[in-house]
């Protein structure tokens, strides 16, 4: 079990909770249960989370679940506590304690089945008497950012009461299959009182929560009638249910403005009645919002090309000066290399072919009298693409002695050159995106024309990331730091970018702590991913099917295995003093670092 558990490092597990036969602690009504999960840390129990409270139920099935990180090598002790909620206080001392179940996480996981359920007796400490049963159903989480959007209305539901003359007080419950006969609720709507045609509020639910990203998993939509009060034998009675899958649901045919399905009444069905319908559900909206990530497009064959643009203006300091930002005698103090080796290298990991274009601006060759505001660092004839970050650094170090730093800082020629490189014929079968990483030490002298060019380029598959190095004041460049809903604007001409396509951050090695530098890299990568996905969506381009990609490990400085087999950009665990290359660690929304491989083929799954 230990070796199997070790293989789950970095994975998450979802714990779904239900109870049966709880002791009734209320005199005139039933227990209003809630489940509280605590984890033992340094010998003390610390609360991790709570489920929702369910009104008057001795057999609660909670929709709120607990998602835990699996940490092999650490005994993860769990304490499930059931309380009877008596008031609105969040302090558990103000509520009646039903009992506890203590168990370790490892005993809840069984990889031989999809969902593993464990039932334990609920007891008070020191009291062997049963106070009910707690069932914990566990399932490994399949990460998914997609969301299901539903808008459902009940229609002509059965009346309730002894004479069937009462309109029901009903809510809708959505459950996902645990085994062949059991469904675990994952969502409940509000209760609509005294209505046979309840119109519940629209629902937005993550596909992971709905079906754990298994589109062929059975789902149950059920309508329930509620009757509260101590004299009521059964608080919740099912009116009817409808079973389907997410795959079937999104392909339902509409009848006008909605798709209609019949509810089956289990009670009528059990009695063998000819008419088993108890009303119907009308689906006015049933769609899945596909929230793709950059990695989804890379897995599907999208090519991400990195273009580096380096500032060689005189403000960087003479190369012979130890304080120069382009100092090659002490690589630890070279902030351009720091930016290339951290952010540049991480972007390059997304390109399986590792083809990088490196441009310079603001310098002149030793034999030239005029400065060039855009030149290629590669000396390979018509091919300006360099293979891998390692070769980029070699080229950079070799060309530095041949340059005379000059000025001013003009970016428009560089952007024009990049626009010429871009493949503008992007479609479903030809997916490409470009990242222009501009590393500069000072204020841009052609800021107005640069803004115009960036706005012009906002309709193209290009993101422009500005990274400031050195001690300069970058206030004027902060306008490039835009969010998804506030694209770049030209205040003079009142022009506005079609979408967000820029990002700015200062990467100051000497003045910022290590954590700040890591955060800059993370945020820049997150911005690039968001902008790429936004562009692809605007062109109605979806990720292709995952495919095999051949990689030459001999010429690949950073093995892309850990990137291609995992999810979005995450936290870095270490950053060396001389090189800013970071190893990836799992985080809640991010990549997991996998062992490197020397194999030729990597299957992206």
Ordered by start, the domain boundaries in the chain are 2-140, 147-289, 294-567
Give which of 363, 269, 382, 370 is closest to 316, Cα–Cα.
Answer: 363
> What is the second-level CATH architecture of the domain 294-567?
3-Layer(aba) Sandwich (3.40)
- Residues 439 and 442: their CA atoms lie apart, in Å, by 10
Residue 154, CA distances (Å) to 196, 240, 269 in order? 7, 11, 20
CA distances from 31 to 55, 231, 398 (A): 7, 14, 76
Handedness of CA 532, 534, 538, 544 (dihedral sign): positive
- 501 vs 487: CA distance, rounded Å: 7
3-state secondary structure 334-393: CHHHHHHHHHHHHHHCCCCCCEEEEEEECEEECCCCCCECCEECCCCCCCCEEEHHHHHH
CATH number of 147-289: 2.60.40.150
In whole angstroms, give the CA distance from residue 442 to residue 352.
33
pLDDT tens, position by position, 59-96: 999 999 999 999 888 889 999 999 999 888 999 999 99
Interval 470-489: pLDDT, tens: 888 788 888 888 765 678 88
Tell me, yes or no, if the two domains 147-289 and 294-567 fold the same way: no
Per the CB < 8 A criterion, the answer to whether 309 and 435 are in contact is no
Residue 488 to residue 498: CA distance in whole angstroms: 9
- What is the structure's pLDDT at 233? 63
Q: What digits encode the pLDDT tens for the residues 411-462?
A: 999 999 999 999 999 999 999 999 999 999 877 888 889 999 999 999 999 9
- The string of DSSP codes covering 445-481 is TTHHHHHHHHHHGGGSSEEEEEEE-SS---GGGGGG-
Beta-bridge mates of residue 226: 236
Q: Dig out the tokens for 242 from the structure.
A: 């409808």
**CA distance linking residue 569 with residue 407, whole number of Å:** 36
Q: Are 18 and 30 in contact (CB under 8 A)?
A: no
User: Is the peptide bond preceding residue 475 cis, with omega within 30 degrees of 0?
Assistant: no
CATH of domain 2-140: 2.60.40.150
Tens digits of residue pLDDT in 57-69: 999 999 999 999 9
Residue 382 has pLDDT above 70, yes or no: no
Tokens for 462, please give them: 């290009």
pLDDT (0 to 100) of residue 570: 37
Average pLDDT for the chain = 84
Q: Is the pLDDT of residue 164 over 90?
A: no
């Amino acid at each position: 079990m230990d070796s199997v558990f070790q293989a789950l490092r970095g994975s998450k597990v979802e714990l779904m909770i239900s109870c049966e036969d709880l002791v009734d602690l209320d005199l005139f009504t039933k227990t209003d249960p809630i489940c509280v999960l605590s984890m033992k840390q340094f010998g003390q129990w610390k609360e991790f989370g709570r489920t929702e409270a369910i009104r008057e139920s001795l057999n609660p099935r909670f929709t709120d679940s607990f998602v835990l990180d699996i940490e092999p090598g650490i005994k993860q002790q769990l304490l499930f506590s059931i309380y009877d909620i008596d008031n609105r206080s969040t302090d558990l001392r103000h509520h009646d304690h039903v009992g506890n179940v203590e168990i370790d996480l490892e005993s809840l996981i069984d990889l031989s089945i999809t969902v593993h359920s464990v039932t334990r007796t609920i007891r008070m400490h020191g009291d062997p008497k049963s106070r009910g049963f707690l069932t914990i159903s566990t399932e490994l989480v399949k990460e998914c950012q997609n969301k299901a959007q539903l808008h459902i209305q009940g229609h002509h539901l059965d009346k309730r009461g002894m004479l069937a003359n009462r309109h029901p007080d009903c809510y809708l419950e959505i459950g996902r299959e645990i085994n062949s006969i059991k469904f675990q609720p994952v969502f409940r709507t509000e209760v609509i009182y005294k209505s046979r045609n309840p119109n519940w509020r629209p629902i937005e639910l993550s596909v992971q929560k709905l079906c754990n990203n298994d589109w062929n998993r059975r789902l149950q939509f059920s309508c329930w009638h509620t009757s509260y009060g101590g004299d009521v034998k059964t608080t919740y009675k099912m009116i009817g249910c409808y079973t389907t899958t997410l795959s079937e649901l999104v392909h339902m045919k509409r009848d006008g403005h909605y798709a209609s399905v019949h509810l089956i009444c289990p009670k009528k069905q059990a009695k063998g009645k000819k008419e088993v319908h108890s009303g119907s559900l009308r689906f006015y909206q049933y769609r899945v919002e596909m929230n793709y990530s950059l990695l989804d497009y890379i897995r599907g064959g999208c090519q991400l090309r990195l273009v580096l643009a380096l500032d060689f203006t005189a403000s960087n300091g003479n190369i012979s000066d130890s304080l120069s930002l382009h100092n090659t005698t002490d690589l630890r103090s070279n902030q351009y290399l720091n930016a290339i080796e951290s952010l540049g290298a991480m972007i390059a990991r997304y390109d399986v072919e590792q083809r990088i274009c490196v441009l310079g601006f603001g310098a002149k060759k030793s034999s030239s009298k005029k400065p060039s505001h855009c030149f290629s660092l590669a000396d390979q004839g018509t091919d300006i693409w360099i293979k891998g970050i390692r070769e980029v650094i070699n080229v950079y170090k070799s060309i530095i002695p041949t340059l005379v730093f000059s000025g001013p800082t003009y970016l428009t020629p560089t952007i024009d050159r990049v626009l010429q490189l871009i493949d503008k014929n992007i479609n479903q079968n030809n997916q490409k995106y470009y990242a222009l990483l501009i590393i500069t030490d000072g204020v841009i002298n052609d800021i107005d024309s640069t803004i115009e060019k960036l706005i012009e380029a906002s309709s193209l598959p290009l993101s422009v990331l500005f990274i400031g190095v050195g001690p300069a004041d970058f206030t004027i460049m902060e306008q490039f730091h835009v969010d998804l809903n506030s694209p770049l604007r030209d205040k003079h001409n009142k022009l506005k970018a079609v979408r967000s396509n820029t990002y700015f951050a200062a990467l100051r090695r000497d003045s910022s702590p290590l954590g700040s530098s890591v955060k800059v890299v993370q945020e820049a990568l997150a911005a690039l991913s968001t902008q790429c996905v936004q562009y692809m969506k605007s062109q109605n381009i979806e990720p292709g099917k995952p495919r095999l990609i051949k990689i030459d490990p001999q010429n690949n400085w950073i093995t892309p295995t850990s990137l291609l087999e995992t999810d979005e950009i995450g936290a870095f665990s270490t950053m060396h003093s001389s090189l800013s290359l970071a190893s990836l660690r799992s985080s809640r929304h991010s990549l997991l670092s996998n062992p490197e491989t020397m194999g030729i083929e990597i299957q992206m799954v």
